[in-house]
Amino acid sequence: MKITIKSPREIEIMREGGKILNSVLESIAKEAQVGVSTMELDQKAEQLILAAGAFPSFKGYEGFPAVLCTSLNEEVVHGIPSKRVLQSGDLLSLDCGVFYQGLHTDKALTLVVGESNPLKDRLMQVTRKSLELAASELKDGVKLGQVSHAIQRHVEQAGFGVVRDLVGHGIGKELHEDPPVPNFGGAGNGPILKAGMTIAIEPMVTVGNYNVIIDGWKIVTADNSLSAHFENTFLITKDGCEVLT
């Protein structure tokens, strides 16, 4: 396993790229309204990224055809934008990466289009909170397993499932670097975190069990239950972490 420590210059570039990515996703989230197609969201995201002097990380990555992953309802991740029009009540996960001055950042969020309900609100709340709890474990000298365990414990105590077939990742010059960042496992597992590492943590949480069906890019819950996904890119520091996105 080759885990890279970023230089101060690389960290600064990732901060700037992260700001661009965060701004883009916030704008796209506002555009996600009833009657808008996921393809329209994708086109808007590409315009915003290019206008900011960056490039979309996902487009062309291992053949992926789009800028955004737009995953709806039972789709966990990697949903490909299409002419499908958003309906009221749709649970939409937006995942995007930005390549800026030679370095990547990665971020995801989940929202409800139009009218929500208590179950969808609870699912999003638990998923978002699990990411916050993971971040609270980050600092130099901590085993990565503490981060994974914090996510699993919170999600399962809430009565939801945490996906095991997909994980977070290191990030920097490559979109996916070492180490893999599972959302489950024992606190004593994994490599020791070091200041200067950058990782993308991304809990993927289901209302039902954690099993998924993978068919090419299409990844859905095996029991057809709803799924939510939140992600940020983090810098490990001596005393904690910095959210870069």
Tell how strand 103-112 and strand 91-100 pair up: antiparallel
Note the pLDDT tens digit of each residue in 97-148. 999 999 999 999 999 999 999 999 999 999 999 999 999 999 999 999 999 9
Give pLDDT tens digits for 31-73.
Answer: 999 999 999 999 999 999 999 999 999 999 999 999 999 999 9
* Contact in structure between 97 and 175 (CB atoms under 8 Å): yes
Binned at pLDDT 50, 70 and 90, residue 244 comes out as: very high
Fold of 8-243: Creatine Amidinohydrolase (3.90.230)
CA dist 245 and 243 (Å) reads: 6
* Six token digits for residue 190: 């994994």
Per-residue pLDDT reduced to its tens digit, 164-175: 999 999 999 999
Task: Give the dihedral of Cα atoms 136, 139, 142, 147; nearest 10 deg.
Answer: 30
Question: Can you tell me the mean pLDDT for 4-8?
Answer: 97
% of the chain at pLDDT higher than 90: 98
Domain boundaries defined on the chain:
8-243
Mean pLDDT of 184-207: 96
Q: Is the confidence at residue 199, as pLDDT, over 90?
A: yes
One-character DSSP codes across 138-165: --TT-BHHHHHHHHHHHHHHTT-EE-SS
- pTM greater than 0.85 (yes/no): yes
CA distance 76 to 68: 14
Q: Are strands 68-72 and 75-77 parallel, antiparallel or unpaired?
A: unpaired
Average pLDDT, the chain: 97
Instruction: Answer whether residue 1 shows pLDDT above 90.
Output: no
